[in-house]
Structure formats: C-alpha cells, structure tokens
C-alpha cells in the first residue's frame, strides 16, 4: 500500500496535482488557494520581526540575521546603529570596531567585514541609498539572493520571495514545493503559483508558520489548521 501511495504522489505531482490518502485529487493551484485562505485568517498581520526604522537599518539587521535569531539581532542593533546610524558613519569604521557591537551573534568577524564593505559599496554605487532592485542589492558585500529578496519585498513591496530555512522546510512539508533541492528551486516553484501581490506577505506567512508551528524538530501538527492538505502530516500521522 505504501509503495502504491508513493507512486501516486510521484505521478500526480509531476502533473501539478496533489493526491491524498482519502483519494481526493487537489491540483497544485487549488492547494495554494487553500493555504492562502488559511493564512489570511490565521495570520492576518504578517511582517518581519526584525526591528528597523529605515532601509539601511533593515539591511544591517538582515545581514546580521544569517544563522542567528531575530531576537538576538534585535538585541544588538540598537547600540550598533546608535553608534553607526548611516552608511557614511559605518563606512568610516573598521571591522574590528563593528565586531565589538556584534560579537554575540554568529560569525561576527565575517559579518563585521560585510557591514563595513556593504556601507562603503552602498556609498560608492548608490550614493548611500539602498536600491530596490534585487540584482543591484546583490552587488553589496554580505548580500546574497535571500537578503536581496527580503529588502526588495519588505521595504519596497516588490514580488520577491526570500527562501530561508523556514520557508524551504514548510513549503516542502505542506506540498507547495516538490523535490526542490535548493532555495532557488523552491523560490521558482512558489513564484509559479503565488499571486504577485501576495508574494511579500506569503514570505512572512511561511516564516512565521515555520518558526512557531511547523518547527524543525517537532512540528506542532495538533495546533495546525493545514493538516487536511499537508503532505508531511499525512505521511507521519500514524
């Protein structure tokens, strides 16, 4: 029976159809619509948990947030940005000076170098103004595709989808992505079905769901309203 069900999942997923154990067929588009409706009710306000006052503050916070909790970043940024509140001020600093403010986060040496380099390049290329284009953002040290997408979507409400560990995990578990091996593959699959206007919000829906409900080690399925359509739940409920 298990072999048969695995075959059915593989066959129907190739045709963008979700096949469940109740022998109902749900097309991928319908699954996305169901999940969106759920999140619109369950998490009507979905936004970043990083504290920031302007685009520069946010790009600093996002660089610091790599493999570090938002809670920790929010503890570090007030003192850091009080000392270096602008690209001009941070560009004048040396990495070892920045390090003293961020040494309790992960990879502080690298991040200190990235922050100084980012500030200097921001002044050199963009007159100190954080750009809204994903490709332009990636010209800055410490800014990869994920960080660029965060800035573009959060600050400028662009249809850019940042795939972090939470988004990657939740999309795969629910069935929104199929056999995606990389964040980029997940991003491409999600962007195919998400309405453009909802992309910035969908990013936060998936992050918050992954952070508080669909946690990595022990997902709280008993508190989740998506179990009727969730692939992970169906595979593990017994």
Q: How many residues does the chain have?
A: 238
Annotated catalytic residue 132: no
Q: What is the model's pTM?
A: 0.84
State whether the Cα torsion 39-192-217-46 is positive or negative: negative
Helix axes 95-102, 70-83, angle to 10 degrees: 130
Contact in structure between 229 and 38 (CB atoms under 8 Å): no
Residue 108: partners with Cβ closer than 8 Å, 6 or more residues away: 99, 102
Q: Which of 146, 158, 201, 234 is catalytic?
A: 146
Contact in structure between 76 and 52 (CB atoms under 8 Å): no
What is the mean pLDDT of the segment spanning 79-102?
Answer: 97
What is the mean pLDDT of the segment spanning 55-61?
Answer: 98
Q: Which of 20, 113, 164, 201 is catalytic?
A: 164
Annotated catalytic residue 164: yes
End-to-end CA, the chain: 14
Domains identified in the chain and CATH numbers = 2-42+162-236 (1.10.1670.10), 55-154 (1.10.340.30)
Query: Which pair of tokens denotes residue 31?
Result: 């699954």
For position 237, what pLDDT does the model report?
A: 76
Does residue 64 or residue 24 have the better pLDDT? Answer: 64
Contact in structure between 221 and 233 (CB atoms under 8 Å): yes
Residues 160-196: pLDDT tens digits? Answer: 999 999 999 999 999 999 999 999 999 999 999 999 9
For position 236, what pLDDT does the model report?
A: 87
Alpha helices in the chain (DSSP H): 2-14, 28-42, 55-64, 70-83, 87-91, 95-102, 108-126, 134-137, 145-154, 165-174, 183-193, 199-212, 231-236
Q: How far apart are CA 113 and CA 91, in angstroms?
A: 11
């Amino acid at each position: 029976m298990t072999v048969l069900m695995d075959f059915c999942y593989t066959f129907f997923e190739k045709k963008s159809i979700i096949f469940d154990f109740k022998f109902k067929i749900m097309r991928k588009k319908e699954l996305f619509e169901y999940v969106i409706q759920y999140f619109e009710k369950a998490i009507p306000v979905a936004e970043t948990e990083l504290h920031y006052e302007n685009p520069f503050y946010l790009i600093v916070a996002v660089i610091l947030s790599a493999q570090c909790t938002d809670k920790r970043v929010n503890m570090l940024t007030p003192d850091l940005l009080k000392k270096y509140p602008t690209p001009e001020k941070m560009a004048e600093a040396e990495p070892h000076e920045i390090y003293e403010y961020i040494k309790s986060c992960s990879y502080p040496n690298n991040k200190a170098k990235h922050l100084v380099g980012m500030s200097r390049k921001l002044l050199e290329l963009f007159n100190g103004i954080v750009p809204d284009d994903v490709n332009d953002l990636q010209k800055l040290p410490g800014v990869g595709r994920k960080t660029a997408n965060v800035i573009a979507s959060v600050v400028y409400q662009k249809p850019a989808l940042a795939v972090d560990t939470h988004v990657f995990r939740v999309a795969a578990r629910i069935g929104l992505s199929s056999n995606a091996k990389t964040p980029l593959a997940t991003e491409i699959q999600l962007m195919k079905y998400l309405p453009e206007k909802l992309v910035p919000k969908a990013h936060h829906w998936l992050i918050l769901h992954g952070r508080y409900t669909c946690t990595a080690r022990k997902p709280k399925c008993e508190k989740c309203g998506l179990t009727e359509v969730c692939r992970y739940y169906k595979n593990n409920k017994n």
